[in-house]
Structure 1
Amino acid sequence: MEAMTKTDVDKLDKGLAAHGGRPLRPRDAATLILLDRKGDEVLVLMGRRHAGHAFMPGKFVFPGGRTDPADSRIATATALHRDEEAKLLAGPGRTSAARARAVALSAIRETYEEAGLLIGESAAFATDKRDWQGFVEHGVRPSLETLRFIARAITPPNRVRRFDTRFFSAWRSDVAVELPGGGPTNELEELVWLPLAKAREADIPDITRMILDELEKRLAHDPLLRPGGPVPFYRLVRNRFTRELL
C-alpha cells in the first residue's frame, strides 16, 4: 500500500467543494474506457460534458455514471470473466456477485446513454427496464465477458458528492452498434477518439489523468489487457490517501 500526499488527494476530487456535515456514503458508479488501435497507437474515447452541468462542466471525461440496482437483473449474452469478477469482489465492503454485475452493466448502459455505443452481441433482447430499451430496439444483447476492471477510486469523506467508482475498459471491436447521433441523453457535447498522450493533455479532471497513466502502464506490460490484471485502488485509510493493488 502506498500513501499519497495531500496534493494527490486534492487531485482526486478537485472541484468538489468540502462540506462540514455528516460524511456521505459513497454511491456505486462505473466508467467505461473504450479503446481502439490505430497503427502503433491506442486511442481512447472521450466526451465533453455540457457547460451547464454543475459537476465538472466542460471537462472531457469517459462515459459513465451511477449504478442502478436494477442493472443486476439484466440478461446478458456472456458473464463477467471469473478473474474480473474476483477482482470486483476484492477490497473493502460487502460487494456481492450481484452488485459487481450491476456495476459492470451500468458501465455498458451509461456508454449507450452518453455515447450511443451498444456493447454486446447482435441478438434478440427483451426487458421491461426503461433505461435498456435502446438495446431492445437495436437488437443487442449486452455482454460482460470482454470488460476489464482497470481501477477503483472512492471519493474522500466530507465532499458534496461521493462515489465508489469502478473504471472498466473495452475495445471498440466489442461494440455491436454505433449510433451516428451519439447517446440519447446528450450529456456529452462532443465525442472524440484521442491517442492516450493527447488525451492526457486535454481539459480533463485530474483523477481521469491519473487513471490514464495507470492504463498506459498496464498496456505497456499487457497490450491485450488479459483478464485478472492488477487493479489500482485509491481510497482514504486512517486519514491518509492510499494506492493499493487489488
Structure 2
Amino acid sequence: MGETHARVLDDPPIRDAATIIVVRDPDTAPRLLMGQRGKTAAFMPSKFVFPGGAVDIADADIPLGRPLPQPCRTRLDRALEASPEALAAAAIRELWEETGQIAGTPGDWADAPPDWKGFAATGHRPDASVLSYVFRAVTPPGRPRRFDARFFIMDAARLVTDPDDFTNACDELSHLQWVTLTQARALDLPFITSVVLGEVEAHLPRTDAPDRVPFFRNDQAWRVIDDAIPTG
C-alpha cells in the first residue's frame, strides 16, 4: 500500500498533448496515417501511433490561418491549462514534424518561431478549421511520462501536401504508412490507441465533430463530456 502510494507521488507532472488522426478516403476505403516510435523512445517505445506530442509553450502564440470550428473550440475551452488554439497548433505542428504533411492555408509568416520555420517556408499558416475534437485520454499513473491528450480527426483530402510524400518528416516516427482499420489492429499498438480506433470506426465515415466526446480517465473508466453541446 505504502509502496504504491510512493510511486504515485513520484509520478511526473501531466502535460497537455495533442494527437491527430488523419483519415484517407473516409467514405469508401478508410485508411489512417500511422508510424512507429523508436525502440529507445522514453514513451511508448516501438509502438505504432498517430502523429502527436506535447504542447510547447510557443504553441500558445501561434497565429492560426483559420480558427477551430464549433463546437470543438467550446469543448476544448473547459477546465484546461492549454488553450484550444494551443492544442490545435500542437496537433498541426506534430503532424508536420513527424510526417511532413501540412494542414494549412496560404499565408506569409515571416516571424514564425523556430519550430515552425520549415512549415512557414512552405507559404502556409496552420489551418485549425480542418480539425475535429473527438477523444480525450490521460496517461495512467506509474508511467515515465504522463499526458492529458486530446485527439483530433481530419480528412486527408484537406491536406495541402501529397499524402504519400513523407520526405519532410523528421525521424521521430518510422514506417509511416496509410493503414486500414484491420491492418491497424494487427500492429503493435498502445492500449489507448486500440480504444481510439474503436471510436474512430464508430464515427466514420464522418470526420466532423461527434455528438459527444469520450474521456478515458486514469482509472480506465469512461466518462462522456460536453454531450449536450450541439454539433451544428
11, 32, 47: which is aligned to 1:59?
A: 47
String of CA shifts for 1:76-112, please: whole Å, max 9, x gaps. 221011210112124xxx326x612101110100010
Over 4 Å off, 4+ runs: none
Question: Normalising to structure 1: TM-score of the pair?
Answer: 0.81
Q: 1:1-246 counterparts in 2 under 5 A?
A: 19=7, 21-37=9-25, 40-90=28-78, 94-95=79-80, 99-178=83-162, 179-183=165-169, 185-219=170-204, 223-227=205-209, 229-236=211-218, 240-246=219-225
Q: In 2 relative to 1, CA 53–158 (structure 1 residues): closer, same or farther, beyond 3 Å?
A: closer
Q: In 2 relative to 1, CA 40–228 (structure 1 residues): closer, same or farther, beyond 3 Å?
A: closer
String of CA shifts for 1:185-222, please: whole Å, max 9, x gaps. 31111110001121111111111111000111122xxx
Aligned letter for 2:151? F
Contact (CA 8 Å) 2:66, 2:105: kept in 1 or not? Answer: no
String of CA shifts for 1:16-42, please: whole Å, max 9, x gaps. xx9354343310011111111177211
Percent identity at matched positions? 37
Report the alpha carbon displacement of residue 232 of structure 1 after superposing the two structures with TM. 0.7
Aligned letter for 1:134? G
* Unaligned residue ranges in structure 2 (runs of 5+): 1-5, 226-232
**Aligned equivalents of 1:39 and 1:225: distance in 2?**
10
Contact (CA 8 Å) 1:19, 1:160: kept in 2 or not? Answer: no
* Unaligned residue ranges in structure 1 (runs of 5+): 1-17
Contact (CA 8 Å) 1:30, 1:103: kept in 2 or not? Answer: yes
Contact (CA 8 Å) 1:84, 1:228: kept in 2 or not? Answer: no
Aligned letter for 1:113? E
**Aligned equivalents of 2:27 and 2:18: distance in 1?**
29
Structure 1 counterpart SS, 2:212: coil
What residue in structure 2 maps to residue 6 of structure 1? none
Q: In 2 relative to 1, CA 38–85 (structure 1 residues): closer, same or farther, beyond 3 Å?
A: closer
Contact (CA 8 Å) 2:26, 2:155: kept in 1 or not? Answer: no
Aligned letter for 2:224? L
Matched pairs, number: 218
Structure 2 counterpart SS, 1:151: strand
String of CA shifts for 1:159-185, please: whole Å, max 9, x gaps. 3211100111111122113454141x3
**Aligned equivalents of 1:188 and 1:70: distance in 2?**
22
Question: Normalising to structure 2: TM-score of the pair?
Answer: 0.86
What residue in structure 2 maps to residue 9 of structure 1? none
**Aligned equivalents of 2:210 and 2:193: distance in 1?**
22
